[in-house]
Amino acid sequence: MIRPTETFKAKKIILYGLLILIVIFSISCGKKETEIDPEIVSNDELLFNLGMESIEKDAEKGRLYLRQVIDSFPKSFYAQRAKLAIADSYFEKGDEGSMIIAASEYREFISLFPLSPSASYAQYQIGMTFYKKALKPGRDQTKTERALAEFKKVITTYPLSDEAKQTEEKIKDCEERLAAHTFSIGELYYKRAAYKASTSRLIDILTAYPNYSEMDKVYYYLADSYYKWNKIEESIPYFRKLITDFPQSKYAEKATERMQEIEKRT
């Protein structure tokens, strides 16, 4: 005896198949209509495979098949793979709009499948959508900041994942970029004799990005900002830190000269 729920499910599957044919026909704009075997429509794995085969040649058509996997078989393993495949297809396209959609798709994946082993990958990819579009230091760093925030979520939420290891390098790179950007602003203020502003920016680097690779010049410009601002006492600890921690730096030589001038003045 066929149960009413089974009949409804069968009708739903047939309806989805018909909808796919209609949409494909409208997309093709007069091209030969693509027929789908009913067996494929009623099988999550076959429908997924059809979507993956199609997405390489026609992204919209492939996504249509993959979305049907998600709608018709929401608890299927292939529903997870289909959702990620859709997100990845937008990510691989690479333009600004596609990256925004990709990030949204990855977020939806985490919401739909929070316990999936691929949730860490989805979170990592969200960070990558911003990282790929981040600008060089000296320009707007909004995307770098967003990427850093998303990458940190990988570490805190999925600390044992493979993506957490990959994310560590991305975090370092984002922080390096942000530190370099902040330094460029601080240096600009220094050259304009706006020492209150330059010290504020340079101190931000010490507190937010302590692993910055060019910390020797940060110490020098910070110390010299205080020195030229006639805040001699505040400059001394930074000059000394530079001399002791970076003895081979060219800025250490300048710091030594400044310390000699300070000694003569006292």
Residue 248 CA, distance from chain mean position: 36
- Give me the chain's average pLDDT, please: 89
Residue 209 has pLDDT above 80, yes or no: yes
The dihedral formed by the CA atoms of 122, 126, 132 and 138, expressed in degrees to the nearest 10 = -150
pLDDT tens digits along 218-234: 999 999 999 999 999 99
CB-count burial class (<10 Å; 0-12, 13-18, 19+) for 136: exposed
The whole-number pLDDT of residue 27 equals 42
Determine, yes or no, domain membership for 139. Answer: no
Residue 190 has pLDDT above 50, yes or no: yes
The whole-number pLDDT of residue 9 equals 46
CB-count burial class (<10 Å; 0-12, 13-18, 19+) for 46: middle
- pTM for this structure? 0.81
> Helix 215-228 crosses helix 162-191 at what angle (to 10 degrees)?
30
The whole-number pLDDT of residue 43 equals 86
Average the pLDDT over 247-262 and give the result: 95
Can you tell me which residue has the tokens 């393993």?
77
The whole-number pLDDT of residue 219 equals 98
Determine, yes or no, domain membership for 68. Answer: yes
Three-class SS of the chain? CCCHHHHHHHHHHHHHHHHHHHHHHHHHCCCCCCCCCHHHHCCHHHHHHHHHHHHCCCHHHHHHHHHHHHHHCCCCHHHHHHHHHHHHHHHHHCCHHHHHHHHHHHHHHHHHCCCCCCHHHHHHHHHHHHHCCCCCECECCHHHHHHHHHHHHHHHHCCCCHHHHHHHHHHHHHHHHHHHHHHHHHHHHHHCCCHHHHHHHHHHHHHHCCCCCCHHHHHHHHHHHHHHCCCHHHHHHHHHHHHHHCCCCHHHHHHHHHHHHHHHHC
Determine, yes or no, domain membership for 231. Answer: no
Q: Give yes or no for a contact between 220 and 240, defined as CB atoms under 8 angstroms apart.
A: no
Domain count, the chain: 1
Determine, yes or no, domain membership for 115. Answer: no
The whole-number pLDDT of residue 37 equals 65
pLDDT tens digits along 3-16: 544 444 444 444 44
Structural domain containing residue 68: 8-92
Determine, yes or no, domain membership for 71. Answer: yes
Determine, yes or no, domain membership for 47. Answer: yes
- Percentage with pLDDT > 70 across the chain: 85
Determine, yes or no, domain membership for 242. Answer: no
> pLDDT class for 96, splitting at 50, 70, 90?
very high
Determine, yes or no, domain membership for 21. Answer: yes
The dihedral formed by the CA atoms of 255, 260, 262 and 264, expressed in degrees to the nearest 10 = -170
Query: Which residue did the predictor score with more confidence, 33 or 181?
Result: 181
